[in-house]
């Protein structure tokens, strides 16, 4: 659609020739009126005020849109014809207030250590570690899956007398496999744990009994590296009417929450033995033995 550009600030009586039509500005009316230009002295253009455009306009006719508040001229250039706005644009309104500031973006150079609730300076993280909440901060943590420690120790010699604890006859069972993890440490019958966590400890004894007696084995633990308490007990008691020997097995187990490897330890005892009753030891098979399994982290 063609657009007629009239002066932005016309004065009363100003004229503008467009396509053989002379437009005259009336300051009292506030718009341009049209009349045919040239020697013919044609009549003035029709001016209509209505909220609907005239139905049969002629080239140069004016229409004031009373609903929209704009002036239009009917323009026929020989190829097309249409109403063209001739209203002078109003003044630009004032600028509205600025909107609120957006959220800060992520700094590409930021690190976890910059966050107030993450502590990676006390203990620097290593490859593969996660963050774990310790009650105050997020700290580096090594996640483990499944059983990480399995260790088995057996008694190699027959125990023919009471031993509190059993000493000098222990060896790690490496018959078919190597220890899983670091493994336990034994010294003078005292077993030290390689790491904290919840541990399952099992004590198994194979006996030879050829006399009336009561045999007791104890799994004992300490949490202060001094006083040992009974964690579990196994017992065999029989009154034999003949001298025929028996080979019973006894066992017990204990779940131990090891929170400090320097103070939390275990030992194993056997009592009630004499020359006719003993605990069987073997360096080639697990007849009397203990096993250690780390089940998981401390609760």
Got the DSSP string for 237-258? EE--SSS--B--EEEEEEEEEE
CA neighbor of 292 nearest in space, from 183, 219, 178, 154: 183
**CA gap 169, 154 in Å, rounded:** 8
Residues 154 and 292 placed together within one structural domain of the fold: yes
Residues 172 and 292 placed together within one structural domain of the fold: yes
**CA gap 276, 288 in Å, rounded:** 18
Which of 30, 61, 85 marks a domain boundary? 85
Structure tokens at 280: 């069987």
Comparing 9 with 247, which gets the higher pLDDT? 247
- Please determine, for residue 71, whether its predicted confidence score (pLDDT) is greater than 60: yes
CB contact at 8 A, 153 and 170? yes
Residues 71 and 196 placed together within one structural domain of the fold: no
pLDDT digits (tens, 9 = 90+) for 241-299: 666 788 999 999 999 999 999 999 999 999 998 778 899 999 999 999 999 999 999 99
Residues 162 and 272 placed together within one structural domain of the fold: yes
Cα–Cα–Cα angle for 177, 179, 184, rounded to 5 degrees: 150
CA neighbor of 265 nearest in space, from 162, 185, 209, 203: 185
pLDDT value at position 87? Answer: 58
The predicted model gives 69-89 an average pLDDT of 82
Which of 63, 85, 107 marks a domain boundary? 85
Residue numbers of the domain that contains 213: 149-296
Residues 157 and 278 placed together within one structural domain of the fold: yes
**Domain presence at residue 2:** no
Residues 284 and 174 placed together within one structural domain of the fold: yes
pLDDT band at 40 (very low <50, low <70, confident <90, very high): very low
**Domain presence at residue 5:** no
pLDDT value at position 1? Answer: 44
pLDDT digits (tens, 9 = 90+) for 181-230: 999 999 999 999 999 999 999 999 999 988 767 899 999 999 999 999 99
**Domain presence at residue 104:** no
pLDDT value at position 279? Answer: 96
**Domain presence at residue 97:** no
Residues 45 and 154 placed together within one structural domain of the fold: no
Residues 27 and 153 placed together within one structural domain of the fold: no
DSSP the chain: -------SS--TT-EEEETTEEEEEETTTTEEEEEE-STT-PPBPPEEEESS--SS--TT-EEEETTTTEEEEEEE-SS-EEEEE-PPPPPPPPPPPPPPPPPPPPPTT--GGGSTTB--SSS---TT-EEEE-SSSEEEE----S--EEEEEEE-S-B-S-BSS--S-EEE--SS-PPBSS--EEETTEEE-SS-EEEEEEEEEEEEE-SSEEEEEEEEEESSSS--EEEEEEEEEE--SSS--B--EEEEEEEEEES-TTT-EEEEEEES-BTTEEE---SSS-SSEEEEEEEES--
Residues 158 and 289 placed together within one structural domain of the fold: yes
Residues 271 and 184 placed together within one structural domain of the fold: yes
Which of 30, 56, 85 marks a domain boundary? 85
Give me the number of domains the chain comprises.
Answer: 2
pLDDT digits (tens, 9 = 90+) for 82-140: 888 885 555 666 788 888 877 666 565 666 656 778 888 788 888 878 888 888 888 88
Residues 160 and 244 placed together within one structural domain of the fold: yes
Residues 162 and 81 placed together within one structural domain of the fold: no
Q: What is the CATH number of the domain that holds 223?
A: 2.60.120.40
**Domain presence at residue 78:** yes
């Amino acid at each position: 659609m063609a657009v007629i550009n009239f002066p932005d600030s016309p004065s009363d009586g100003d004229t503008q020739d467009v396509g053989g039509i002379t437009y005259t500005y009336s300051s009292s009316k506030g718009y341009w009126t049209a009349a045919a230009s040239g020697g013919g002295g044609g009549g003035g253009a029709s001016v209509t005020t209505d909220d609907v455009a005239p139905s049969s306009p002629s080239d140069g006719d004016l229409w004031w849109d009373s609903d929209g508040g704009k002036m239009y001229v009917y323009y026929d250039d020989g190829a097309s014809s249409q109403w063209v706005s001739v209203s002078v644009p109003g003044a630009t309104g004032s600028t509205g207030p600025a909107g609120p500031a957006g959220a800060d973006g992520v700094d590409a150079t930021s690190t976890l250590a910059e966050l107030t609730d993450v502590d990676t300076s006390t203990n620097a993280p290593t490859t593969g570690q996660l963050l774990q909440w310790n009650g105050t901060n997020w700290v580096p943590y090594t996640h483990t899956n499944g059983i990480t420690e399995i260790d088995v120790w057996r008694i190699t010699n027959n125990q023919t007398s009471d031993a509190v604890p059993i000493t000098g006859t222990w060896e790690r069972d490496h018959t078919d496999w190597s220890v899983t993890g670091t493994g336990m440490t034994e010294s003078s019958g005292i077993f030290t744990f390689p790491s904290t966590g919840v541990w399952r400890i099992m004590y198994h004894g194979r006996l030879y009994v050829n006399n009336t007696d009561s045999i007791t084995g104890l799994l004992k633990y300490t949490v202060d590296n001094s006083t040992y308490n009974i964690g579990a007990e196994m017992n065999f008691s029989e009154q034999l009417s003949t001298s025929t020997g028996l080979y019973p097995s006894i066992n017990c187990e204990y779940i131990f929450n090891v929170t400090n490897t320097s103070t939390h330890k275990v030992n194993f005892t056997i009592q009630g033995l004499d020359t006719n009753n003993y605990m069987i030891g073997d360096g080639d098979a697990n007849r009397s033995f203990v096993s250690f399994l780390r089940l998981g982290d401390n609760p």
